[in-house]
Chain A
Amino acid sequence: MKKHKKKLIIIGIIIGIVLIVIISDKRKITFIEKGIKDGYTFIIKAISNNCENNCEDIEQVELLKAENNQLKKDIDNLKDLLKLETTLSEYKTINATVVDRNLGYWYDTLTIDKGQNDGVKENDAVISPKGLIGYIESVNYESSTVKLITSNLKNKISVKISINNKEIFGLLNSYKDGYFIIEGVSEDVKEGMIVTTAGLGNNYPEGIYIGKISEITTDNFDLVKTLKVKSDMNYNLITLVSVVSK
């Protein structure tokens, strides 16, 4: 009986912890948490900026060269962003800088320096010059957490592939070994075709670039295809992003 009691207590504790985690995953962030996180983001931003200034003093010439190159890249990126913005004219875009990333390791998240006060809202899409990155998972006053699309997708993303005047729709299911997986496509598609968001049924606006088809596999009956889509994005090196807000 005692053994059973112990087992029941242990099982109860495990179920309790799991329930607590599930609840805390879906809960809204309190203003105290927002304040603490904003304060931390402010400190990290200040340190990063300060470090940059000090480094400039020490190795000015080399850094100016590097900075020049970086600025050129940034200008290109921003030009690309502007091009992207024209296709998303009915949406407001908010440019932001990444402060830190993926600290919980499992969550595949980024922290950006724009929040509620800048007009960022929960579930807004987040893009980079090279396409879709993810969505806003939680918003603080001066910072926000971005959930990357490379993480375990809770909601499938509706996507489309444009062939001449025809559009083929599909669902982006998961991200595995550097590729996005689209399942259930029956129409003829070819490698190299561009995949964009379809804007159906979720928060992602239509026409955001995701990647190009790099591999096509068919099922045993040659009816349904599974597509592997390669993104141009390096998800480990994201510095500038844009939040697409309605």
Chain B
Amino acid sequence: MILLIIISLIFDGLLSSFSNIFIPLFTLSSLVIIYKKKKNFIWYSLIIGLLYGIIFTNMFLLELISYYLCSIFIVIYFDKMKYNLMNTFLITIINIILYRTINFLILCFSRIIKFNIFLLFKSIYSSILINLIYIAIMYFVFIKIFNKSNKKKYKLYN
């Protein structure tokens, strides 16, 4: 999981320089995969939010709040729904919307940015496609690795 966090942070930085049309939010999206390691998930998300804030935005308190709310939403969602690819896609989209909206509203209230609803829409739709592709790749890589390692453990115990 630490590897996934590091990969996400690095790709977030690298891809940001290449394109202004597809904006990565890989670190946030990776929360959905990290949720599989259910133990201490909320703590993980807080640490990731803190790191993201320090490295990228200098606003770690805002990121901490946003990541915390997103992770709570993931927990509530997967308590009621099954963990599969379709649901990870859906929760990724909802998380992007939630994250962008929270950030946008707080920054507007703080008068750091001007209220422009089209900017919010643009920030959401330009992030969705690239993050879904990333999540699909990470789902197959990490969840398959998880399943394999779990199966091996199961065999060893038996």
**Given contact pairs A40-B9, A44-B10, A106-B112, A20 touches B61 in the complex (Cβ within 8 A):** yes
Residue in A37, A40, A102 whose CB lies within 8 Å of B16: A102
Complex interface: chain B residues within 8 A of A14 (CB): 109
Q: Which of B14, B62, B114, B123 contacts A105 (CB 8 A)?
A: B123
B14 touches A100 (CB 8 A): yes
Within 8 Å by CB of B106, from A17, A29, A105, A152, lies: A17
* Interface pair B10/A43, CB less than 8 Å apart: yes
Question: A100 touching B13 by the CB < 8 A rule?
Answer: yes
List B contacts of A99 (CB < 8 A).
13, 17
B128 interface residue per 8 A CB criterion: no
Per-position 1/0 for A1-39, Cβ under 8 A of B = 000000000000010011011101100010001001100
Instruction: Name the interface size band of chain A.
Output: 20 to 34
Complex alpha-carbon distance, A18 and B12, angstroms: 26
Known: A24-B58, A33-B60, A100-B16. 19 other contacts (CB 8 A): A18-B106, A18-B109, A21-B61, A21-B107, A24-B62, A36-B51, A36-B55, A37-B54, A40-B9, A40-B55, A47-B14, A48-B14, A102-B20, A104-B56, A104-B103, A106-B103, A106-B123, A138-B58, A152-B112
Q: Which A residues lie within 8 Å of B130 (CB)?
A: none
Q: Which 5 A-B pairs have the closest CB atoms?
A: A104-B57, A103-B56, A236-B20, A100-B13, A21-B110
Q: A residues within 8 A CB of B55? A: 36-37, 40
CB proximity to B under 8 Å, residues A125-141: 138
A103 adjacent to B110 (CB under 8 Å)? no
Please report the C-alpha to C-alpha distance between residue A207 and residue B57 in the assembled complex, in whole angstroms. 31
Residues in A whose Cβ lies below 8 Å from that of B20: 102, 236
A98 to B16, CA, bound (A): 11
Whether a CB of chain A sits under 8 angstroms from the CB of B23 is yes
Q: For the complex formed, measure the closest distance between the CB of B92 and the CB atoms of chain A, giving whole angstroms.
A: 17
Min CB distance B50 to A, Å, is 10
Flag whether B104 is at the interface (Cβ < 8 A): yes
Q: State the A residues within 8 Å of B (CB).
A: 14, 17-18, 20-22, 24-25, 29, 33, 36-37, 40, 43-44, 47-48, 98-107, 138, 145, 152, 236
Question: Does B113 lie at the interface of the complex (its beta carbon under 8 Å from any beta carbon of A)?
Answer: yes
Closest chain A CB from B2 CB (angstroms): 14
- Interface check B138, CB cutoff 8 A: no
Could you list 19 A-B pairs, sorted by A, with CB under 8 Å?
Answer: A17-B65, A18-B106, A20-B61, A21-B59, A24-B61, A24-B62, A25-B59, A25-B112, A29-B58, A33-B54, A37-B55, A48-B14, A99-B17, A100-B16, A102-B23, A103-B16, A105-B100, A138-B58, A152-B113
